[in-house]
């Protein structure tokens, strides 16, 4: 588990609330196995589990998040079978709830002695076997629970980097292959790996947000409210971890908006509004960031209520000159609440403090704008995936390979000296790449001296460097000598000259 | 040293235990279904207390003659394992299951159980 820098109060509150939630889930599950048919209990169980999963993600209890997701899958499948499940199925559900409880009870971080992957494998086996053996019988639609989420593919950054290295190696092999069969094979491998990487590096936000529409509609119905839900997130893509953080934050904000913000139809008409409330989620990319807004036309925040609660909580004193901004910021303070009662829907969640913590954790910000009696707008700003890069582009010596270096380097063209690195030789691309220019007149050799800080590296080239904008299609770590990029749709090799020089040194030493 | 643990006797499940050195071995026979759960629960709690009393280093659970255990009864073992995990390191003892590979329920349940505490639980087939 990684708790980051979250305040201990948030963690403790999460653990306490989550233990209550998993206890209720277990209780409802046992009742369902005994044949109980309680639609409201099933919905409450689904909400409890979904909230637990979301909260776990927000506070960094990744193992609890994973197990909650597996429980959601199990319970969704059990609902399809009207809760007539095998002993194995019962067993893994029981054990999963116990596992979650154990993890929540652990006071210290870490999962020493626990084989989470092994247990998840057991769960997956049971799910697979159950699906295979599933009997075709009609299910009770009233007892259905929301199917498990399709979360963005999770691959650790290190795994993605390894995949990127493998893809880059395949591309280099393709460039260096001596015959067309090998070249074709390596080209295909490169293509598959790079496509997969591209899919993993940035996920679409819209499908994740769409799930909130369905959940919001169910919640509004339960609360007797009418909500016109709109979502506009066309073409916005985010890194998977950022998308997950946004998803979890939106879960809380949507529940808050429907539970606390948007009024009942009667109250809205009395306030001179349409009976149907409005809840809009928009996402757009601008200036290297993605802005996500959650806007409702409910009652807004009563600042005087916030002030009174803050005074009572000791967050303000009578003579504090707190203005609107300060009062709205207090809503994100750990443990702060303006409610005396407890809402079954969102009033017992980890709250805006944890929403903010989850967003800050991934380098984002969250801000609240208030329109008294007219609604609120939460604006989350998170970094957009970095895909473009300014580069100096030039042709490799004696080949048709496009090379480039980051534009942070300052290039100076000069006659070729003995110290100039031949990048093609350094990368050992002496096969097909040289042959691509067979028969063509050799271009006039030149060197490009690259300077960045105290580094100064001369590199052989066939053409003078030209400034261009590249797309990062297969990002490799900064310590990797090369990366495949695209300039105007054509593949090129981005060199990291300081590491290409290392490659040559290693090769020279190997030769000694 | 002798083990001070009453025998488990229910209409469908029986259990007894012995101690050799610092190792307690408890054998179960029959079927551990929902009806046997209260007795099983009581027995495993007593087994845990006895292991602490005699400062056992290992408790062996012999399931080779246990025909079936339902998930509710199996939860008794999960709870017990959680209790052992929460003990200070010097009081923890290892738990070793003797299983019958021909019984499907044992394969899955014990494999899953061992995931809870890979450093405390071992399974022998």
Question: Nearest CB to A122: which of B82, B108, B119?
Answer: B108
Cβ–Cβ of A91/B112 closer than 8 Å? yes
Over residues A428-438, the pLDDT tens digits come to 775 544 444 34
pLDDT at residue A511, as a whole number: 45
pLDDT at A141 over 60: no
Residue ranges of B 62-121 with Cβ closer than 8 A to chain A: 70-72, 74-75, 78-79, 82, 85-86, 105, 108-109, 111-120
Partners of B75 on chain A (C-beta within 8 Å) are 94-95, 98
DSSP class of A421: B
pLDDT at A144 over 50: no
pLDDT at A439 over 80: no
Phi-psi region of B30 (alpha: psi -120 to 50; beta: other; left: phi over 0): left
Please tell me the distance in Å from B1's CA to the nearest CA on chain A: 31
pTM to 2 decimals? 0.50
Cβ–Cβ of B119/A98 closer than 8 Å? no
Please say whether the beta carbons of B118 and A113 come within 8 A.
yes
Max mean pLDDT among A277-281, A323-327, A397-401 falls in A277-281
What does the block give as tokens for B70? 């339902």
pLDDT at residue B125, as a whole number: 80
CA distances from A344 to A180, A256, A482 (A): 66, 11, 54
Please say whether the beta carbons of A83 and A33 come within 8 A.
yes
Cβ–Cβ of A87/B105 closer than 8 Å? yes
Please say whether the beta carbons of A226 and A264 come within 8 A.
no
Partners of A114 on chain B (C-beta within 8 Å) are 115-118
pLDDT at A109 over 80: no
Cβ–Cβ of A90/B114 closer than 8 Å? no
Tell me what ipTM this predicted complex has: 0.85
Average of per-residue pLDDT across A176-198: 80
pLDDT at A163 over 70: yes
Question: Nearest CB to A122: which of B72, B79, B115?
Answer: B115
Outline where DSSP puts E strands in A173-298.
203-204, 227-232, 237-238, 277-286, 289-296
Question: Nearest CB to A87: which of B70, B78, B120?
Answer: B70
Q: How confident is the model at residue A360 (pLDDT cuts 50, 70, 90)?
A: confident
Q: Please tell me whether residue A264 adopts helix, strand or coil conformation.
A: coil
Q: How confident is the model at residue B17 (pLDDT cuts 50, 70, 90)?
A: very high
What does the block give as tokens for A377? 């707008």
Phi-psi region of A280 (alpha: psi -120 to 50; beta: other; left: phi over 0): beta
Cβ–Cβ of A113/B105 closer than 8 Å? no
CB-based contact, A441 to chain B, within 8 Å: no
CA distances from A293 to A209, A244, A246, A279, A297 (A): 12, 16, 11, 10, 13
Least confident range of A255-264, A433-442, A450-459: A433-442
Nearest CA in chain B to A29: B72
Over residues A231-263, the pLDDT tens digits come to 998 778 888 778 888 888 888 899 889 988 999
Partners of B70 on chain A (C-beta within 8 Å) are 87, 90
pLDDT at residue A506, as a whole number: 55
Residue ranges of A 102-141 with Cβ closer than 8 A to chain B: 102, 105, 112-116, 118-119, 122, 125-126
Partners of B120 on chain A (C-beta within 8 Å) are 113
Partners of A99 on chain B (C-beta within 8 Å) are 115-116
Share of chain A above pLDDT 70, in %: 84
- CA distance linking residue B42 with residue B44, whole number of Å: 6
Cβ–Cβ of A95/B112 closer than 8 Å? yes
Q: How confident is the model at residue A24 (pLDDT cuts 50, 70, 90)?
A: very high
| Higher-confidence position of A139 and A54 | A54
- CA distance linking residue B9 with residue A365, whole number of Å: 63
Partners of B116 on chain A (C-beta within 8 Å) are 95, 98-99, 102, 114, 119
Nearest CA in chain A to B116: A114
Please tell me the distance in Å from A426's CA to the nearest CA on chain B: 48
Q: How confident is the model at residue A335 (pLDDT cuts 50, 70, 90)?
A: low
- CA distance linking residue A416 with residue A113, whole number of Å: 60
Please tell me the distance in Å from B9's CA to the nearest CA on chain A: 24
Interface test with B, best of A22, A30, A95 (most B CBs within 10 A): A95
Following DSSP, what letter does each residue of A310-347 receive, concatenated?
A: HHHTTSS-TT----HHHHHHHTTSTT--S-SS--TTTT
């Amino acid at each position: 588990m990684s708790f980051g820098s979250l305040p201990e109060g948030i963690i403790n509150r999460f653990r306490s609330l989550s233990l209550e939630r998993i206890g209720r889930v277990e209780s409802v599950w046992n009742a369902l196995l005994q044949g109980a048919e309680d639609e409201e209990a099933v919905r409450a169980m689904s909400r409890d589990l979904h909230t637990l999963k979301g909260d776990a993600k927000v506070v960094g209890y990744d193992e609890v998040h994973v197990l909650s997701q597996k429980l959601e899958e199990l319970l969704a499948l059990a609902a399809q079978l009207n809760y007539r499940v095998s002993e194995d199925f019962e067993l893994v559900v029981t054990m999963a709830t116990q596992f979650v409880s154990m993890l929540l009870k652990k006071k210290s971080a870490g999962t020493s002695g626990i084989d989470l992957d092994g247990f998840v494998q057991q769960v997956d086996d049971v799910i697979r076997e159950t699906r295979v053996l599933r009997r075709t019988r009609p299910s009770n639609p009233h007892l259905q629970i929301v199917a498990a989420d399709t979360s963005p593919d999770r691959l650790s950054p290190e795994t993605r980097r390894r995949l990127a290295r493998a893809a880059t190696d395949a591309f280099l092999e393709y460039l260096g292959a001596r015959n067309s069969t090998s070249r074709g094979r390596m080209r295909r491998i490169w293509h598959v790996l790079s496509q997969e990487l591209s899919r993993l590096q940035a996920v679409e936000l819209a499908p994740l947000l769409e799930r909130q529409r369905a959940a919001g509609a169910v919640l509004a119905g339960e609360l007797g409210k009418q909500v016109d839900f709109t979502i506009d997130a066309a073409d916005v893509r985010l890194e998977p971890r950022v998308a997950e953080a946004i998803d979890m934050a939106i879960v809380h904000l949507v529940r808050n908006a429907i539970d606390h913000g948007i009024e009942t139809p009667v109250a809205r008409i009395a306030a001179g509004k349409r009976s149907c409330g409005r809840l809009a989620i928009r996402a757009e990319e601008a200036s290297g960031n993605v802005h996500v807004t959650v806007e409702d036309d409910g009652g807004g925040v009563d600042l005087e209520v916030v002030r009174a609660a803050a005074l009572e909580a000791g967050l303000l004193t009578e003579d504090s000159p707190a203005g609107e901004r300060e009062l709205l910021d207090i809503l994100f303070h750990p443990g702060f609440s303006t409610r005396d009662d407890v809402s079954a829907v969102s009033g017992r969640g980890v709250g805006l403090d944890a929403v903010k913590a989850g967003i800050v954790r991934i380098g984002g910000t969250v801000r609240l704008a208030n329109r008294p009696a007219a609604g609120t707008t939460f604006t989350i700003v998170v970094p957009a995936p970095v895909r473009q890069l300014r580069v100096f582009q030039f042709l490799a010596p004696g080949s048709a390979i496009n090379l480039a270096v980051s534009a942070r380097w300052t290039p100076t063209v000069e006659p070729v000296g003995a110290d100039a690195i031949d990048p093609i030789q350094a990368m050992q691309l002496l096969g097909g790449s040289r042959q691509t220019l067979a028969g063509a007149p050799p271009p006039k050799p030149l060197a490009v001296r690259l300077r960045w800080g105290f580094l100064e590296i001369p590199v052989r080239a066939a053409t003078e460097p030209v400034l261009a904008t590249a797309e990062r299609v297969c990002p490799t770590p900064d310590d990797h000598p090369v990366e495949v990029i695209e300039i105007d749709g054509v593949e090129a090799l981005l060199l990291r000259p300081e590491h290409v020089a290392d490659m040559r040194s290693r090769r020279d030493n190997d030769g000694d | 040293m002798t083990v001070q643990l009453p025998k488990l006797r229910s209409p469908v499940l029986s259990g007894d235990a012995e101690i050799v050195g610092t190792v307690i071995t408890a054998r179960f026979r029959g079927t551990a279904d929902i009806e046997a759960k209260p007795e099983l629960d009581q027995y495993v709690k007593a087994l845990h207390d006895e292991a602490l009393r005699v400062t056992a280093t290992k408790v062996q659970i012999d399931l080779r003659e246990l025909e079936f255990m339902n998930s509710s009864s199996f939860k008794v073992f999960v709870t017990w394992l959680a209790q052992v995990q929460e003990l200070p390191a010097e009081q923890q003892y290892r738990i070793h299951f003797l299983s019958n590979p021909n019984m499907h329920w044992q394969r899955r349940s014990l494999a899953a159980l061992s995931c809870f505490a890979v450093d405390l639980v071992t399974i022998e087939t």
